[in-house]
Amino acid sequence: MRLPAMPDEWLDRSRAVRFRFEGRSFEGLTGDSISSALWAAGQRTLGRSFKYHRVRGILSAANHDVNVMLQDGQKLNTRGDVIAVREGMDLTAVNTFGGLAGDRARHLGMFARFLPVGFYYKAFHNKRLFPAWERLFRRITGLGVIDFGTPHIRTAKSYDFCDVLVVGAGPSGLAAALAAASSGASVVICDENARAGGSGLYQLGADDARRMQTRTLLDQVRAHPRIRLLEGTYAAAYYADQWVPLVDADKMTKMRARAVIVAAGVFEQPTVFRNNDLPGVMMGSAMQRLIYRYAVQPVRRAVVVTANADGYRVALDLLAAGSTVASIVDMRANVPPSAQADALRSRGVEILAGHAVYEAHANGKGELDGVTVCRIDGAGRVVSGSNRSIDCDGVAMSTGWAPTANLLYQAGTKMRFDDLLQQFVPDTLPEGVFACGRVNGFFRLESRIADGQRAGLDAAAHAGFGAPSDTRIPPESEAPSLAWPIVAHPDGKNFVDFDEDLQVKDFENAVQEGYDNIELLKRFSTVGMGPSQGKHSNMTALRILARLTGKTPQQVGTTTARPFFHPVPLSHLAGRGFSPQRHSPLHGRHAALGAVFMQAGAWERPEYYRVEGRSRIDCIREEVRRVRTAVAMIDVGTLGKLEVRGPQAAEFLQRVYTGRYDNMKVGATRYAVMCDESGVLSDEGVVARVSEDVFYFTTTSSGAATVYRELSRLNIEWKLDCGLVNLTGAYSAVNLAGPASRKVLAQLTDMDLSSASFPYLACRSGLVAGIPVRMMRVGFVGEWGYEIHMPAEYGPTLWDAVMKAGEASGIGPFGVEAQRLLRLEKGHLIVSQDTDGLTNPFEVGMNWAVKLDKPFFVGQRSLQILKQMPLKRKLVGFLLAQNHSGQVPMECHLVIHDGEIAGRVTSISWSPHVGRYIGLAFLQPSLTEPGTPFSIRIGDGSMVAAEVCATPFFDPKDERQKEAE
């Protein structure tokens, strides 16, 4: 029944909302939740429970009524108790077979004794039967039906900052926000409810002065220029250093605060008695929410079962809403004197101290129509023969609370169980995290507001504003929670966890089976594992476990609180990937030439250039042929390009590379190998001495960033008189290779390209096509060639000039695949392809590059030790048989010798020059003599014969680098 307008109701009475529920038409008001609209219309059966398919109604109206889970078209997981009803909604209850009223699974409860706690683990371990069980359970469980045609939604993320973030906009949170803001802090206060105010606007006991206190705070918060109020927004988690994701209907905001105040309040906990799940039995606070938020009379004739002052206020609120209160059943032996109790007595309400609800009774529709009450003794045991029936259509449960401490736990707060409050409260809070109000153990309204002010000042002071508070707030004198809100019943159905239909006996059985630790109990019984994540069940479970094991709640402890506090839609979490991809300055040229790109570290590089009508392998072979017989060009701008300058530049290189650089002549280049401290080969490149104090050197493409970073660190540590510049992005580079390369280059430069003045392995500076360049004569691919380095912005111009000049010589581009084969023919290794995280230079035949007699270099001492030890493996060249047909081994295929692993392939390719498959492989030293046969095990398990071969496979004496006489 709808009540007259309430002062802070959430409704817009001028706008009715029409919607359908289970095929029937209903009408609510704008601002109604789905449940409140249905309840106002007299609909009490709102959903079916998960396991036994019992009818359920409103439990908390605070986001935990997970049995009222609805599907609205494509939209799943619509929680009726909080989601606002909208015009045209077509809602169906999930978890029913054939609709809510006639659910064919409604008799499952009769089989309850065949479905004991942990029955999953007991019944479904048979491998043969498991697929059948799985099919059955997939059909009968699950909440809603997924429509795979649901459109893809992109949800934006936002980032925000504040000095103080307040989680929860009830009386203490509002007071905290105001106090922090008055100290000068910028404050954000969020609340998961559609409107702020929290319990301050509904836990009234028909006392308007209480409401006005919160109303005033709320008005001040709204008016304060330094406070932003975010309604309908929940703090989903707490991450390190005050990082809190705030989730609203549309997006997630990653909020970074200097201080976080948790003023999240408490969850009301159910009283556990038989049939405490019937529609009509609900939390006292749920009835107050219905009255003051939605102006709905919750029930006509209520029994209030309570053990605290809150229950008395519920009774007064019910009277104010026109309901009858049949009886107040106070589970405490004595009722403390209070104005509320007096007011109720004066209005003729019977108060039964030392009583409990023994069981609730249902009418034909399965909805509440009466209760049996009984006397209980000091330990909560039922006094036999004391039963008495009371007719009612509602029971308000108001016997205790559990702190909404999820974020506090996630932040690392140490909590302590307060025996007077019968509640966990923060004991030691982490730096920058504050708690106030009921979650902090203060329940009287004045105390909550005062505690909020204290926390606000403390948090602002932590954020650098004002001074902390020196207020001490007097502790509570009356327990808000009952230690044992549980009434035993031989026939059970006294529910602890409404998500999972867990009864008291399920816990007794679990403990009897040995699951007597809270974490084990949770996993075995599934308590707290339903959609409400234990918000109304964990505390009761903990109390039961404590009593069964003879421990205190403190000793039992709580389960670990993990993100998220509340289910976050996946669309809010999914986002676009941010993996930066680098393009060389010549990328556009490659694309225009039909390049097929491959991922090489952070770079996209041309794997090969596609030619119309040719296969990939033919294109690559044509590129190889062009390098060997004419001239071709490859973009090597992805190489790391560094410069070290200063009087001690040579000394620096001496220390970081294994070779000698102090004796290099200006204009010379030298191959360089880098090791780490353990002597493992970590990078390689070419060092060029540009002038006495300036060296220009390259690193591998993949190692560029890390090598530069590590060399910077070493330079800081060593304090040498030199500086390091990373030119990787600033320079472009190409390798012009092939017998005709000099002829092509000669057209573009006045430099003397004769062998006498520009010999192999020399470095020269000059102009090519009018562009200032550094050139090195290198032989990676085994042909006469020039590595041309120039400022990145000139790259395309130079590329075009060389391509044009080479037209007559049949020039073309070549890609990474062709280069891999060309270098393989020369026996050149690629670091990280032909080496791994344990390879030392001796294993790959680079003894010549390691100058152990230098005073110091990184890895020297380790290499000295390794040098004395026998090699464990060696990288050698190999050939497959001349007439090899069938499958070809691949990289990483193993070498098998005498049934044991004796090595692995690191590179393999068809060599047009040799006319056979050639490759590099690590082999145990006994197999490394040229001519030694060995076997490679390929993917299908068969063996392929191979033979060790000396490298290089092509031009072993570097004749191609020498000038024809």
Partner 1 sequence: MKLMTCPINGSRPVSEFVYWGEIRPMPDAATCSDDEWADYVFNRNGAPGVKKEWWCHTPSNTWFIAERDTEKDKVLRTYLHGEDE
Which residues would be at the binding site for partner 1 (CB under 8 A)? 239-241, 243, 431, 677-678, 708-709, 712-713, 716-717, 719, 726, 856, 860-862, 865
Distance CA 33, CA 30 (A): 9
Q: Minimum CB separation from partner 1 for residue 668, in Å?
A: 29
Identify which of residues 379 and 869 has a Cβ nearer to partner 1 in the complex: 869
Q: Minimum CB separation from partner 1 for residue 842, in Å?
A: 17
Look up residue 716 and give its two tokens.
């800081």
Identify which of residues 241 and 963 has a Cβ nearer to partner 1 in the complex: 241
Identify which of residues 678 and 924 has a Cβ nearer to partner 1 in the complex: 678
Closest CA to 228 of 189, 262, 191: 189
Q: Minimum CB separation from partner 1 for residue 705, in Å?
A: 8
Rounded (10°) CA dihedral 622, 624, 628, 631: 70
Distance CA 560, CA 546 (A): 17
Q: Minimum CB separation from partner 1 for residue 870, in Å?
A: 15
Distance CA 82, CA 64 (A): 9
Distance CA 322, CA 909 (A): 89
CB 905 within 8 A of CB 889: yes
DSSP conformation class of 475: P
Q: Minimum CB separation from partner 1 for residue 719, in Å?
A: 8
Identify which of residues 135 and 709 has a Cβ nearer to partner 1 in the complex: 709
Identify which of residues 549 and 862 has a Cβ nearer to partner 1 in the complex: 862
Rounded (10°) CA dihedral 797, 800, 803, 806: -60
Q: Minimum CB separation from partner 1 for residue 602, in Å?
A: 13
Identify which of residues 236 and 545 has a Cβ nearer to partner 1 in the complex: 236
Identify which of residues 865 and 901 has a Cβ nearer to partner 1 in the complex: 865
Identify which of residues 865 and 890 has a Cβ nearer to partner 1 in the complex: 865
Q: Is the link from the previous residue into 116 a cis peptide, with omega within 30 of 0?
A: no
Identify which of residues 562 and 709 has a Cβ nearer to partner 1 in the complex: 709
Distance CA 752, CA 22 (A): 90
Look up residue 698 and give its two tokens.
């390259």
Q: Minimum CB separation from partner 1 for residue 463, in Å?
A: 13
Distance CA 540, CA 325 (A): 27
Identify which of residues 797 and 862 has a Cβ nearer to partner 1 in the complex: 862
Identify which of residues 431 and 929 has a Cβ nearer to partner 1 in the complex: 431
Identify which of residues 243 and 564 has a Cβ nearer to partner 1 in the complex: 243
Q: Minimum CB separation from partner 1 for residue 263, in Å?
A: 24
Q: Minimum CB separation from partner 1 for residue 862, in Å?
A: 6
Q: Is the link from the previous residue into 922 a cis peptide, with omega within 30 of 0?
A: no
User: What stretches of 811-933 show up as alpha helix (H) in DSSP?
Assistant: 816-825, 860-868
Look up residue 840 and give its two tokens.
């030392």
Identify which of residues 182 and 860 has a Cβ nearer to partner 1 in the complex: 860
Q: Minimum CB separation from partner 1 for residue 677, in Å?
A: 5
Rounded (10°) CA dihedral 764, 766, 769, 772: 110
User: What stretches of 224-326 show up as alpha helix (H) in DSSP?
Assistant: 284-294, 309-320
Identify which of residues 219 and 431 has a Cβ nearer to partner 1 in the complex: 431
End-to-end CA distance of the chain: 109
Distance CA 754, CA 769 (A): 18
Closest CA to 153 of 572, 497, 452: 572
Q: Minimum CB separation from partner 1 for residue 850, in Å?
A: 15
Identify which of residues 860 and 907 has a Cβ nearer to partner 1 in the complex: 860
Cα–Cα distances in Å, from 400 out to 378, 550, 728, 937?
17, 21, 66, 69
Q: Is the dihedral of CA 662, 664, 667, 671 positive or negative?
A: negative
Q: In b/e form, how buried is each residue of 318-350, taking b as 16+ CB within 10 angstroms?
A: bbbbebebbbbbbbbeebeeeebbebbeeeebe
Distance CA 263, CA 439 (A): 7
Q: Minimum CB separation from partner 1 for residue 580, in Å?
A: 11
CB 263 within 8 A of CB 455: yes
* Amino acid letter, residue 487: V
User: Within 13 Å, how many C-alpha atoms sit on residue 547's CB side?
Assistant: 14
Look up residue 686 and give its two tokens.
């070419």
Q: Minimum CB separation from partner 1 for residue 728, in Å?
A: 12
Q: Minimum CB separation from partner 1 for residue 710, in Å?
A: 8
CB 876 within 8 A of CB 931: no
Q: Minimum CB separation from partner 1 for residue 256, in Å?
A: 8
Residues β-bridged to residue 235: 246
Cα–Cα distances in Å, from 540 out to 487, 495, 517?
12, 10, 14
Closest CA to 250 of 153, 331, 167: 153
